[in-house]
Amino acid sequence: MDLDYTPEDLEFRKAARAWLAENVPTEPRPADVQAGAAFDKAWQRRLYDGGWAGVNWPKDYGGLGLNGVRTLIWWEECERARAPGYERFTIALTHAGPTIITRGTEEHKAAYLEKILKGETIWCQGFSEPGAGSDLAALKTRGEIDGDYLVVNGQKTWTSGAATAQFQELLIRTEPGSERHKGLTWIICDMSTPGITVQPIGTMMGESDINATFYDNVRIPLKNVVGEIGGGWSVAMSTLAFERGNTFLRDQISMAGKVERAIELARKTITADGKRAIDDREIARKLAELKADALGLRAMAIMNVSNIDRNGQPGPEGSMVKLLVSQVNKQLMEVVADLSGQPFLDYDGTRHSNEWTFDFMWSWVLTIAGGATEIQKEIIADRVLNLPRSR
């Protein structure tokens, strides 16, 4: 057991830090949906050109194939440099791409993977439906085989990035009368196919890029199926461990910096009674406790990457991370709202008008999206604790 970096780790950190210092965009990510997507593509392209795209994708598929510790270092340096996150490339880099790597044909790999790394194609996820969110297996959007095509009809929702995505990882019911996890198919859907309608969904943040997606006789070539027809559930779940190990790593690492920025805010905020917010003991101690929480999250990240490097997969802490990260974040946002007073309410519907206020509202996205807190607890109860099943 040790907390030391190898000389090669330190070299890697130095190289990452130097490159990020030169290349992180100085302008903020635009709030506009199209301009935001263009920003994300440009950043991904810059990562690719600099040799930093797909940090934890296997080398065989154009990634850097970094081990857990190096991945951690990369995210620490990104946080330090305040580099852009995955944003619209989240699905492509953390789910669709890894799924194609794990389950796709050579043709799929050749057609899609490099374009993701190069920042050319944004992907969105077509999993949730109005009647199938936490209970994903209740999905009803159907696909019927017609010659060399699957003809898709139905509706997906919460489709982040649908308006700017070229492709979608789409999970549909292809076996008539099938139920739950059976009879589903995972297919690559070109978003420019006729019959697809994208309708933006307004959110409490104002600025948003989530949508409802409607499918009216959308014809998708059968060659776009990844895995077997009817085997879609296992394809959708095949990268779960990959996701658990990596998706929240940056959030875990960034929590420490976020708490420090909140403490800075408290030092310079003068409250209605004329005192600095940090001089309020209740606020100061809450912030200090969140600092301890953030150190704990970082420790869990180190435990997580240690497990990945030792055993090839995350340990049980992987399933607990999302629960804790999103809860700590929410508590931090509550303190920030408390210490900021009325100026916290200055907000024009875009994150740039008040980052903290945007983050406050975004805290519910973190506790709901990608498996709500209640679902995370079910997963821990089932898979880590082996408690009697509730369903």
Partner 1 sequence: MDLIPSDDQQQIIDLAADFILKELPLTRLFDARYDAGKARAQRQAMADLGWMGIGLAEESGGVGMTVVEEAFILREIGRVVGPTAIIPAILAAKLADGAGLDELRDAIVAGSAGIALAVAEAPLSADGDGVSGVARIYDVQDAQAIVVIVGDEALLLGASAGDLEEVPFLDSFTPVARRDLAGLPVLARAPAAATVQNGLLLTAAYLAGLSEGAVAMVQEYAGIRETFGRKIGAYQAVRHPIAEGAARSDHAKSLLYVAALALRDSRDDVVAQVSSAKVIAHRAATKNADINIQLHGGIGITSDLPAHHFMKRALMLAPWFGGRKPLLDTLLDEPLLTI
Q: Which of 84, 85, 111, 83 has its CA nearest to residue 96?
A: 111
170 binds partner 1 (CB under 8 A): no
CB of 294 to partner 1, least distance (A): 7
* Shorter beta-carbon distance to partner 1: residue 93 or 262: 262
251 binds partner 1 (CB under 8 A): no
Residues 6+ apart with CB under 8 A from 216: 153, 195, 196, 197
368 binds partner 1 (CB under 8 A): no
Phi, psi of 314 (to 5 degrees): -65, 155
Looking at residue 347, what DSSP letter applies? -
Told to judge if 144 belongs to the known catalytic residues of this protein, a careful annotator would answer no
CB of 296 to partner 1, least distance (A): 4
* Shorter beta-carbon distance to partner 1: residue 37 or 73: 73
Q: Which of 88, 96, 223, 91 has its CA nearest to residue 148?
A: 223
CB of 215 to partner 1, least distance (A): 34
Looking only at the bridges linking them, the beta strands covering 184-190 and 225-226 are antiparallel
User: How far is 82 from 85, CA to CA, in rounded Å?
Assistant: 9
83 binds partner 1 (CB under 8 A): no
Give the residue, chosen from 260, 264, 346, 348, that forms a contact with partner 1 under the rule CB under 8 A: 260
390 binds partner 1 (CB under 8 A): yes
User: How far is 9 from 15, CA to CA, in rounded Å?
Assistant: 10
- Is residue 226 within 8 Å of 104, Cβ to Cβ? yes
CB of 339 to partner 1, least distance (A): 13
SS in 3 state form for 174-196? CCCCCCCCCCEEEEEEECCCCCE
Give the residue, chosen from 285, 343, 345, 355, that forms a contact with partner 1 under the rule CB under 8 A: 285
Looking only at the bridges linking them, the beta strands covering 123-126 and 167-173 are parallel
375 binds partner 1 (CB under 8 A): no
Contact map string, positions 203 to 242, toward partner 1, x by CB under 8 A: ----------------------------------------
List Cα–Cα distances, 42 to 49, 63, 96, in angstroms.
10, 18, 20
CB of 138 to partner 1, least distance (A): 18
256 binds partner 1 (CB under 8 A): yes
User: How far is 166 from 98, CA to CA, in rounded Å?
Assistant: 17
50 binds partner 1 (CB under 8 A): no
Site for partner 1 in 302-331 (CB under 8 A): 302-303, 305-307, 309-310, 316-317, 320, 323-324
CB of 323 to partner 1, least distance (A): 5
Sign of CA dihedral 134, 138, 144, 148: positive
72 binds partner 1 (CB under 8 A): yes
The footprint of partner 1 on this chain (CB under 8 A) covers a number of residues equal to 58
Angle formed at CA 210 by CA 206 and CA 215, multiple of 5 degrees: 140
Looking at residue 218, what DSSP letter applies? E
Distance of CA 191 to the CA centre of its chain: 20
User: How far is 15 from 82, CA to CA, in rounded Å?
Assistant: 16
Give the residue, chosen from 15, 204, 292, 345, that forms a contact with partner 1 under the rule CB under 8 A: 292
Q: Which helix (H) or strand (E) holds 152?
A: strand 149-156
CB of 52 to partner 1, least distance (A): 18
CB of 213 to partner 1, least distance (A): 31
Q: Which of 79, 129, 169, 243 is catalytic?
A: 243
Place of tokens 């030169």: 22
Taking contact as CB under 8 A, which single stretch among the options 35-43, 92-100, 223-231, 284-292 is the one that binds partner 1? 284-292
Give the residue, chosen from 138, 204, 299, 345, that forms a contact with partner 1 under the rule CB under 8 A: 299
User: How far is 373 from 369, CA to CA, in rounded Å?
Assistant: 9
291 binds partner 1 (CB under 8 A): yes
Give the residue, chosen from 33, 47, 76, 245, that forms a contact with partner 1 under the rule CB under 8 A: 76
- List residues with catalytic annotation: 243
Contacts with partner 1 by CB under 8 A lie at 1-5, 9, 13, 69, 72, 76-77, 80, 256-257, 259-260, 263, 278, 284-285, 287-289, 291-300, 302-303, 305-307, 309-310, 316-317, 320, 323-324, 374, 376-378, 380-381, 384-390
